[in-house]
Structures are given as C-alpha cells and as structure tokens.
Amino acid sequence: MKKEKREEFCFRERERERERMSQELTPEQKARIERNKREALERRRKSALSLSLADVDNSRIRRVHVHSDRIRRLNGDDVECNEGGRYVLYWMQSSQRSRYNEALEVAMERANARKKPLVVAFALTCDYKDANERHYNFMVKGLLDVKEGLSRRKVPFFLVTKKKREEEKEREVQTEIGAGIPEAILSLSKNAIEIITDCGYLRVLRIWRETLARKVSIPITEVETDVVVPVFAHLSSRPKLDVSAASFRSFALPKSFEHTENVPDLEEIIALWNKEDAENARVSAFETLNDRFAFVIDGKIASSSSSTASEQTAEDILSVLKAKFGLKETPNIPKCDKYHVGGEIEAMHKLEAFLDPVILRKYGELRNDCSLGLQSHLAPYIHYGQISVLHVAKRARRFAALHKSDEKIQRSVEVFLDELIIRRELGIQFVVKKRDTYDTFDALPIWCINTLEKHRDERETRYTYEELEKGQTDDPLWNAAQNELRLSGKTHNYTRMYWGKKVVEWFRDSREAWTVLMRLNDTYSLDGRDPNSFTGVGWVFGLNDRSFPEAPVMGEVRRMSMSGCKKKFGKAIDAYIERWNGQREKGGRQVSIANMFKKQKRY
C-alpha cells in the first residue's frame, strides 16, 4: 500500500514539474517540442511500416539494420501490395552496388517476408543530359560488378534500355523523364508485389521517382543510401538553406555519429528462395516488357557475335548501345581506365589503399599539395553509388579509433570526414532546397552576383571554350589542371579551385563564365552532373564562402593567383605543371592503386 501511495505521489510531482516547466517555456520552445514529438512519432510509424511483417512467419527472416530516418513511402500508406505479384522489385538507380546497400537489403528482407524472389533492374537511358561515352564506360563497368554480386545471392539483375524507334529518331523528343525511365520500371511493376528504390537528389531524379509513385498501384518505398545523414527526415524541421559549412556542420556532425556509431553494420540478408524461384522471377520479368524495351544484361541481346550474355564486357555493351540504342560516340573524350576503373571492387581497393597510416599521417597537413598522391580518389565511385559513404565514414572513424595516440591521423580523419560528410552533403541540401534553380547562375547568393556585376568592366573575355577545353591558355597551372581533368576524369582538389577562379577572371560576363565551367566540368569530370558540381562551381563565385575586402576584377569574391599558389607550395606547383603539361605522356604512369597514393615521378 505504501509503495502504491509513493508511486502515486511521485507521478503527481512529475506532472506538477512538467506543468511548471511548460509555463516557463516560450511559445517558440513549446512549438519546437510539439514538432519534435510529431517527428519522433512519424519516424516510429515509418519504422513500423518498413519492418511490419506480422502476416508472415518470421522465424527464418534476418532483420536488416537500417535507421528508420532513411526509409519513407513515396505514394501513401493506403496503397496495398499486389498479393498476386511474382517478385519484389528493387529499382536500382543511384546506388549501383551489391554491397553495403541499404535499399538492396531492405528489398531482400521484404522478398523473404513475402516468400518471393527479388528482382533488381537498372533502367539505362542513352541520352542522359551531359553524359558521354566516358561516363557510360565507367558506369557500365560498375553495373557488371553489380551483376556478379547479385548472381552470387541468387538475385536476377536486368540492365534495361528503351529501343530507339525510327519515329523517335525523327522527333528527337527530349523530356525530363528521359528515355525509358521510369517507363521500363513501370512495366516491370506489373508483376511486382511492391517496389523498393534508392534515393536521388537532382531534379530529374526526383521527377523520375515522383512520376513512378503517381503511376504505380503498388507501394514504392525510397531508402536514402548515399548520405551519412538522411535528408528528407529532417527537411520539415530544417527547411532553410545553410549558407555556410559552419552552420550545416553544427547540425550534421552530431547526427553523423548517430548513424556511424549507433546503427549496427549492414549485413547481407540471405535469400530464402532457390535458383528455380529466381529463374521463374526472371521469366516473369521478361513477360512484362513489350517490344519497346530491350535487355542489355541478362537478356536477349548478345553483345557481340563473339560474346555470350555471361561473358559481356563493358566494351561489348557500349558497342551495342552505340549501334542500336542511340548512345553517341565521343572519340575526343578519352576513357579514363588508366586512372579510374569503374566498379565497387575497384572502389573498395581504393578505400583500403587510402586507409593507411603512411597516407593518413600526411593527409591532414599536406592534402592540398598537388604534387603528392594523397587524395582518396573516391569521388567518382561515390557519384555512381559504387561505394557507400556510410561505410566509408564508419571505416574511417574505426581507423582513427585504432590510432588514438596519433594526433596526425586523428586530424587527417577529421578533415577527410568533414569533406565527405559536411561539404558533400551541404551540396545535396543545396539542390534539394533550391530544387527549381540550383542549376542556374541565379541560385548564387545575391551579394556574389552584385559584386561580380559591379566589376564586370574590369574583366575581358580572353579565351574561347575550345581553347579552354584543350588547355591552350597563357597560364601553365590552369592548363595543367585542365589536362588532368581531360585525361584522368578528375582534378586535384586544390588546383580545381584555382581552375575555377581563373575562368571567372577571364570572362566579362559572369553568367557566361558559370556556363563554361559547368560545361567543362560535366563533360570531362567522371563525377560531373552531381549536386557537388553545382556547389563546387558555385564556390568559385562565392557560394558557401564569406565576402572578402573589395578588390578589382573579383570584387568581394575570394581570389587565387599563381604567385599565391607558388608561395604556399613552392616547387610542388612546378612539379604538377611538368607532370600534366610535359612533352612525354601526360599524367605519368598512374596505372596501379599503389602508384595512385605515391609521389609521382618527375620527367
């Protein structure tokens, strides 16, 4: 009896304390508390939705460890699964990998729960805006890795493209939905129980998903797989755009620990179906597509007369795409296989090579020295989703934990993660929150536009696009940076900033300078057409940067000069220039992972 009275007394005291505190709170604080409660309840509801398998025998089903903030339904909770469906469909688009892929593991779990196989499909369009043969080569090599990885797990994988009919050739109709996406996925959904997809952030990628969500009659679930801190779970509570890395860091850095430290490692879900079930699902998927579509991988197209479907190479696939499906040849833009070979296997090799004590004792202090090979070289792989940024962040923090006494390694990992999480995901926030304008000059802060316009008469247009493209300027450092981009598919982080700043100086019209930089970047960079393309180019105009004392030519926008670079790095600049502008084979001999992380030989 005494115990019950004591509990009742404590309960009343707690209620009085809550009432007293609520009276002391401001209206804004009360509103924020209520909003946090609603968001917590919504996350709990989503988590229950994503893992609700009560109608199935769960005794053999392994649970997938995916944070509930990453999972959301795109077409309403009232849309029901197709109980007569023959497979669960994973529409792979942004996360082109078979390992450490949250969307894939969620789809595997759903398929097991439904006692049906999983089918994975990638719908390829041969006229994606600003993509060329260099990009397709890198991507297709990665998709062949995906095929092998899924085959090991008894999961059929289809690379599907849309046939280019004669009447379509004549019309050349260009829409933001793109050729065959999401039309092929819409066709495949006819025999599907439900759809799982990964998350994209650019406008066209959002339109694809929104279009599919409107048209399908089965649930479509989106999983954020290519960020450390999920974007859409926090969009309502943080609708305003962060104007600097510092403001975004105060939010994202604590959240990043929640996802790297508090969520168990993603484990592969074992398929509960057999090879016969997988083959039946493959046949069922074939039946849904009419003659407007064709299978490039695991289908009816032989890549060449000398290749079978199981022996396809990227070169085989590209030749078929060019011959039959409208992929344009770009012989003036060389492939980058000497420097960066696409695929999740190569990405993991590069991560392993980067997480080395010798590299990371230098990275924090010397990463901007362009004569040293201290970059991770992971950006192209992250762009295509061939490696998980969450996995990279976890590995980096665990590496730091193993070297707690080494201050240089601690500092290097801190700097690397700031670039990987804060800088990169600041760019993703930018394209999501400025969805309608992020790819225009007008998305820049007004102070940047005004100060550059004020000083436009102090600049003159010095070079044509063609001269810039070929690295034919009077600035040897700029030429070296452009040659590196043109040949290897990426540019050193530090010289990239210089590369952009000089183009701003060389064009009277800042809008034209912005257009030229975006075109050069998207044409030659393996990770062009990326959220960070817009913020990276935007930064040279002042985006996410502070204003500086006003000066001629650039106004209040930060300046960079050859003399400043040489003062900071000395002979390293000369070595970089000689390496990429030399008479011998440009780029030296960067043919192995080991060489990529060593100081390059000077000729």
Q: pLDDT band for position 597 (50/70/90)? A: very low
**3-state DSSP call for residue 208?**
helix
Q: Is residue 155 part of a domain?
A: no
Candidates 387, 392, 335; CA nearest to 149 is 387
Judge whether 125 and 178 are in contact, CB under 8 Å. Answer: yes
Candidates 339, 320, 304, 313; CA nearest to 483 is 339
Q: Where are the alpha helices (DSSP H) in 51-180?
A: 102-114, 133-152, 166-171
Same domain, 466 and 555: yes
Same domain, 478 and 583: yes
Q: Give me the chain's average pLDDT, please.
A: 87
- Asked if the model's pLDDT at residue 336 lies above 80, the reply is yes
Q: What angle, rounded to 10 degrees, do the helices at 424-433 and 531-540 form?
A: 100
Same domain, 419 and 467: no
Q: Is residue 98 part of a domain?
A: no
Report pLDDT digits (tens) over 409-439: 999 999 999 999 999 999 999 999 999 999 9
Flag the least confident range among 66-80, 205-219, 317-331. Answer: 317-331
| CATH number, domain containing residue 409 | 1.25.40.80
Residues 128, 530: Cα–Cα separation, whole Å: 13
Same domain, 447 and 586: yes
Domain count, the chain: 3
**3-state DSSP call for residue 174?**
coil
Same domain, 458 and 418: no
Same domain, 452 and 589: yes
Q: Is residue 509 part of a domain?
A: yes
What pLDDT score does 310 carry? 55
What pLDDT score does 555 carry? 98
Q: Is residue 498 part of a domain?
A: yes
Domain boundary among 400, 433, 466: 433
- Asked if the model's pLDDT at residue 166 lies above 70, the reply is no
Amino acid letter at 200?
A: G
Same domain, 451 and 424: no
Residues 74, 222: Cα–Cα separation, whole Å: 7
Q: Provide the residue range defining the domain that includes 451.
A: 441-596
Same domain, 373 and 460: no
Q: What sign results for the dihedral spanned by CA atoms 240, 243, 249, 250? A: negative
**3-state DSSP call for residue 91?**
strand
Q: Where are the alpha helices (DSSP H) in 299-356?
A: 314-324, 344-354
Q: Is residue 313 part of a domain?
A: no
Same domain, 466 and 493: yes
Candidates 185, 177, 168; CA nearest to 123 is 185
What pLDDT score does 53 carry? 42
- Asked if the model's pLDDT at residue 245 lies above 60, the reply is yes
What pLDDT score does 293 carry? 78
Residue bearing tokens 């890549």: 303
Q: Is residue 333 part of a domain?
A: no
Q: What sign results for the dihedral spanned by CA atoms 530, 532, 536, 538? A: positive
Residues 282, 155: Cα–Cα separation, whole Å: 9
Same domain, 450 and 406: no
Maximum separation of any 2 CA atoms in the chain, in Å: 94
